[in-house]
Amino acid sequence: MLRARVNISGGLRGFAMTAALAGSLGAQAASKPLPLKYVGPATVPAITAGDLMTRLYKYADDSMMGRDVGTPYHLKAVAYIESEVRRMGLKPGGPNGSFYQDFPIWTTTLDAASSLTVGDSVFTIGSRFIAINGAGAKHYTNVPVVFAGSLTDTLTSLDSAGVAGKLVLLQPGPRPSPEVLQSTSYKAFRAALAGAAGTLNLQGDSLSTALVKNFTSPNSSMTPPATDGPQRAPILLVTNAVVEAIFGAPVSGLTKGQVGKPVTTDLRYTRTAASPGRNVIAILPGSDPKLSGEYVAIGAHSDHVGFAHGSRGESDSLRVWGAIGHPAGAEGGRTTPLAADEWAKVNRDIANLRKVYPSRPDSIFNGADDDGTGTVSVLEMAEAFAKGKVKPKRSLIFVWHAGEEHGMWGSGYFMDNPTIPRDSIVAQLNIDMVGRGAATDVTGQKMGGGILHGGEHYVQLVGSRRLSTELGDLVEKVNTEKKHGFLFDYNIDADGHPQNIYCRSDHWSYAKWGVPVVFFTTGGHADYHQVTDEPQYIRYDHMAALDRLIFDVAVGVANLDHRLVVDKAKPDPAPATACKQ
Looking at residue 6, its pLDDT comes to 40
Do 160 and 249 reside in the same domain of the chain? yes
Answer with the one of 258, 273, 288 that is the final residue of a domain: 273
Do 425 and 541 reside in the same domain of the chain? yes
Do 279 and 247 reside in the same domain of the chain? no
Do 267 and 323 reside in the same domain of the chain? no
Distance CA 571, CA 579 (A): 8
Distance CA 400, CA 559 (A): 23
The enclosing domain of 206 has a CATH number of: 3.50.30
Contact 136, 231 (CB under 8 A): yes
The 10 Å Cβ neighbour count of residue 173 is: 11
Q: What is the pLDDT of residues 141-183, one digit of tens each?
A: 999 999 998 877 766 678 888 889 999 999 988 777 778 778 8
Answer with the one of 227, 245, 273 that is the final residue of a domain: 273
Do 260 and 290 reside in the same domain of the chain? no
Contact 469, 581 (CB under 8 A): no
Query: Does residue 352 sit within a domain?
Result: yes
Answer with the one of 273, 299, 328 that is the final residue of a domain: 273
Distance CA 244, CA 532 (A): 43
Query: Does residue 572 sit within a domain?
Result: no
Query: Does residue 581 sit within a domain?
Result: no
Whole-angstrom CA distances from 554 to 47, 140, 252, 483, 548 are 14, 55, 64, 16, 10
Residue 458, strand partner residues: 487
Do 465 and 436 reside in the same domain of the chain? yes
Query: Does residue 293 sit within a domain?
Result: yes
Query: Does residue 574 sit within a domain?
Result: no
Residue of 283, 299, 271, 285 lying closest to 413 (CA atoms): 299
Query: Does residue 570 sit within a domain?
Result: no
Range of the domain at 186: 109-273
Contact 537, 368 (CB under 8 A): yes
Looking at residue 311, its pLDDT comes to 77
Looking at residue 177, its pLDDT comes to 77
Do 268 and 129 reside in the same domain of the chain? yes
Contact 11, 449 (CB under 8 A): yes
Looking at residue 126, its pLDDT comes to 87
Do 321 and 245 reside in the same domain of the chain? no
DSSP string of 433-457, one letter each residue? S-S---TTSEEEE-TTSSEEE--TT
**Under-70 pLDDT residues of the chain:** 3-32, 133-137, 154-156, 225-232
Do 242 and 322 reside in the same domain of the chain? no
Looking at residue 27, its pLDDT comes to 38
Looking at residue 91, its pLDDT comes to 98
Q: Model pTM?
A: 0.84
Query: Does residue 3 sit within a domain?
Result: no
Do 391 and 314 reside in the same domain of the chain? yes
- Beta strands 442-445 and 451-453: pairing type? antiparallel
Do 441 and 375 reside in the same domain of the chain? yes
Looking at residue 28, its pLDDT comes to 39
The enclosing domain of 515 has a CATH number of: 3.40.630.10
Do 238 and 365 reside in the same domain of the chain? no
Query: Does residue 114 sit within a domain?
Result: yes
Question: How many structural domains are present in the chain?
Answer: 2
Q: What is the pLDDT of residues 432-490, one digit of tens each?
A: 999 999 999 999 999 988 999 999 999 999 999 999 999 999 999 999 999 999 999 99
